[in-house]
Chains A and B, each alone.
Chain A
């Protein structure tokens, strides 16, 4: 043993180490106290969010059925790819990979995600609404390195193909900021954007549920927690009759215009058609900007709902209102009051022509309506005066929305001196009254208004407010307008004559059905101009109207047909005939034949799309391998 023991370590140096140990461990304890006691709730919350992944369980929207309960709009399950940013490793690295894997435009993706910048990171974002097999495979293959991607089951809206009833149903889409705030919806919620989908959104939209699962750090599901079941939306049953609707679609043959058929006793809309249409299936959840631009910039205005929004001059259909007003005012005697029509008439220093250049000869009310003599109604208009024309027009439902309960219904226009002074700061010229008397000039109506007005007059002054949804709890809303039975009889007999006595609406005749109606040809350019120029371009060709109803007394169906640039009302009459025929055939047959091809066709076109998409991907993959 040597002398090592002679000098020992000074005690104070060991004490320094001892103090150092104590202080160090105390500091560590304080740090743990901070984390585990002071900020415990914060970290517990983070741990829960790590552990529990909440995925939306989408509620299916309610079905839209026709009056016989046959589905017109339904939905089918589809798989969506969603992104949960909370589980994202690195946004810069992942996005290009995701964009490539799901075949999304990287620029679009970046822009799209930007919208969610302020949303909480656990908020799921739908990237692909209808995941193809390739998309699903991509997500499954990247479970580990891209836990931010998830597959969820969604319900995609399915509308009849070829835009059938498109304007009636409207479409659904992602809720805008204002819609989200108004209804307290989650970001990315799907809501009705137009048509019934919009006006009945609260009914049709269900309440989404939540699936809560425990996941491990790889995003793998290890256990399930209680689900919050989604509540499906309620279905709505329409007054629409699919058989009548299909007849109208077929008769229109895709021509530009509108058809609306209603039951004047109840206001039930039986057919509702506007062309050109768009395919609401394209909109089913999200519409791409280029698709949207194409629709909004199309000069044929496919988004315009012509039934409730096209405001056009009614042409000679307006003579029904003139006739009723004149009879109610006792201005003319139906038998003795006659006018000689030489093909023109002079009023207030101007020459007004009849559509029939040869003239109609001597006409009374009945024959004037049957042959649509303008000269006769110039005289009636002159006697009534603009104030009374306006008053009766409004009474019969023109100049204001019918109250069908449809978004953005237009009210048309019933002109008056007061209106002209207010809007144009000009006095009313008497000559204008003469134009208005035959439905030209500033008077504007929608197809729905015409059907409503004619239906009301033909029903003896019972104006039933048009309605789209069949609700046994709610009786029809009727407005009683004073109308003498003799007036109704005279007018409807004359309108029966239009169809059945060799009048302008002869094409609407149906064997065994008492069809009545009135043609209308609304000028876009005056007769004089046409004569001067010879012929005009299609966009200036006259609009053709036909409003028909049956039977003559107590009608069950009124149909208003508009053929834009259809040249003459007589050409619109066959469309009304087919609709009325379908209605009465159906009545004989009884309700309930299973619905046409609609749903099946729609599904088939979806399958075709899927096939196309996978073929495209297969080709791309083959390209890459080469």
Chain B
């Protein structure tokens, strides 16, 4: 039925937005790495990743998302098995067991978990009848999402584990969360917060302490945040110009081609550039919601809801980190930060959005 994809329905506007943001990212990667021999040509590699991402996006858009939904249970079980495998055979790097090596390739199973949770929740919540979700539905969602979240958090990879929470939250919100349930969840969450503190590892606590109280000496733990803020602030309204940011070029911004790319971008392009980039991101988000509105069915809309929540979460946490409103984590800025797997992952998600959009006219 969906063998004939409707390329007329391919979302060229969304495609254009994604391309524009990617170009901003590649330009800034060029700027951040131009004087570092060890990163030479990095912008070209990112260009390649974007190219591959676009191809993959087209390919994914050809897949009927119902196929994914129908196999959601298997995908989910396979993910859980993968996470167990990480525990059993995973490679330990920097004290965390996050990777699994299959045939020479390093796999981060937790990345896969994002997909399976989006799909399994879309399937489950999408099948619920009625305007609102009952308590048992919430309980099932909690278990479906909770198991992989706990397993990933135990690796430990709190960052990725936390990404899954807004996916679940968006899912239940769109699926028909009741006000009183929402309130109860909020209270429960607040009560669990102190308990969560004790579950944290020392380095995680340290990061939070630094975030709350960054005045720990100029080169102390708050150093990265301070340098990032200096970069952003010194950019002023018009910025210092591409390749002209001193904080960027002289290496004061930490990991400036990846996690902190937005600091380098804000320094060189100023508030004007930030306004442009954030507007593009906003248009992207609003476009996703528009596609969601026109989705053929609940599950399709919920899939987009998952992608939307991931994008919002990454955007908020990354940009918030750059200006000191969020703790320093390894969460990249979608489409701008350098990184093969992150870029590919984002394009695959956008492919999912495309496939839902291209199949919005169910009756045809």
Contacts and interface: CB of A to CB of B under 8 A. Distances in A.
A46 B235 CA distance: 12
A559 B129 CA distance: 120
A531 interface: no
A8 interface: yes
A14 interface: yes
A95 B301 CA distance: 60
A4 B230 contact: no
Contact of A35 (B218, B229, B302): B229
A216 interface: yes
A216 B323 contact: no
Contacts of B99: none
Contact of A46 (B230, B251, B270, B308): B230
Interface in B278-312: 278-279, 281-282, 285-286, 289, 292-293, 295-302, 305, 308, 312
Interface in A25-71: 25, 28-29, 31-33, 35-37, 39-40, 42-44, 46-48, 50-51
A69 to B, nearest CB: 49
A91 B217 contact: yes
A471 B252 CA distance: 56
A217 B218 contact: no
A520 to B, nearest CB: 67
Nearest to A11: B293
Nearest to A15: B289
Contacts, number: 160
Most buried by B among A90, A121, A215, A218: A90
B166 to A, nearest CB: 11
Given A13-B174, A17-B308, A25-B281, A44 B286 contact: no
Interface residues on A, range: 35 or more
B250 A51 contact: yes
A215 B250 CA distance: 7
B220 A43 contact: no
A119 to B, nearest CB: 15
A24 B237 CA distance: 21
B292 A9 contact: yes
A9 B174 contact: yes
B49 to A, nearest CB: 26
Interface string B324-364: 01000000000000000000000000000000000000100
B34 interface: no
A214 interface: yes
B65 to A, nearest CB: 11
Contact of B299 (A4, A37, A46): A4
B316 interface: yes
Contacts of A218: 251
Contacts of B247: 47, 50-51
Nearest to B216: A90
Contact of A36 (B223, B237, B298): B237
B319 interface: yes
Contacts of A89: 217-220, 223
B246 interface: yes
A527 B14 CA distance: 117
Contact of B289 (A21, A40, A214, A216): A21
A218 B270 CA distance: 25
A40 B236 contact: yes
A24 B316 contact: yes
Contacts of A391: none
A22 interface: yes
Interface in A502-522: none
A21 B220 contact: no
B236 A90 contact: no
B145 interface: no
Given A24-B312, A31-B323, A43 B299 contact: no
B285 A21 contact: yes
A14 B315 CA distance: 19
B236 A36 contact: yes
B231 interface: yes
B252 A44 contact: no
A40 B319 CA distance: 18
B126 interface: yes
A88 B219 CA distance: 7
Contacts of B10: none
Contacts of A7: 129-131, 298
A28 B236 contact: no
Nearest to A218: B251
A265 to B, nearest CB: 65
Interface string B61-89: 00000000000000000000000000000
A14 B250 contact: no
B26 to A, nearest CB: 22
A259 B54 CA distance: 96
Nearest to A222: B250
Interface residues of B, number: 63
Given A7-B129, A28-B278, A89-B219, A36 B250 contact: no
A35 B233 contact: yes
A32 B250 contact: no
A1 B1 contact: yes
A279 interface: no
B250 A90 contact: no
A371 B173 CA distance: 123
Nearest to B126: A4
A184 interface: no
A113 to B, nearest CB: 14
Interface in A527-542: none
Contacts of A24: 312, 315-316
A50 B246 contact: yes
A490 B224 CA distance: 90
Interface string A209-235: 000001111100010000000000000
Nearest to B325: A31
B89 to A, nearest CB: 38
Contacts of A21: 282, 285-286, 289, 312
Nearest to A217: B251
B200 interface: no
A305 B126 CA distance: 100
B275 interface: yes
Among B176, B234, B325, residue most surrounded by chain A Cβ atoms (within 10 Å): B234
Given A22-B282, A36-B271, A217-B250, A8 B297 contact: yes
B246 A47 contact: yes
A35 B323 contact: yes
Nearest to A52: B246
B230 A50 contact: yes
Interface string B160-176: 00000000001001111
Interface in B208-249: 217-220, 223, 227, 229-237, 246-247
A18 interface: yes
Interface in B253-289: 266, 270-271, 274-275, 278-279, 281-282, 285-286, 289
The listed residue with most B CB atoms (<10 A of its CB), out of A10, A17, A24, is A17
Interface string A312-323: 000000000000
A29 B293 contact: no
Interface in A575-621: none
Contact of A28 (B170, B230, B319): B319
Nearest to A92: B217
B222 to A, nearest CB: 12
24 contacts: A4-B296, A4-B300, A9-B174, A9-B175, A9-B293, A9-B301, A9-B302, A10-B176, A14-B289, A16-B173, A17-B170, A17-B289, A20-B312, A25-B285, A28-B323, A32-B232, A33-B271, A35-B233, A36-B235, A44-B233, A47-B233, A47-B247, A86-B218, A89-B223
Interface of A: 1, 4-5, 7-11, 13-14, 16-18, 20-22, 24-25, 28-29, 31-33, 35-37, 39-40, 42-44, 46-48, 50-51, 86-91, 121, 214-218, 222
Given A4-B126, A4-B298, A47-B230, 13 more contacts: A8-B301, A17-B174, A17-B308, A24-B316, A25-B278, A28-B320, A31-B323, A36-B235, A47-B246, A50-B252, A89-B219, A91-B217, A121-B218
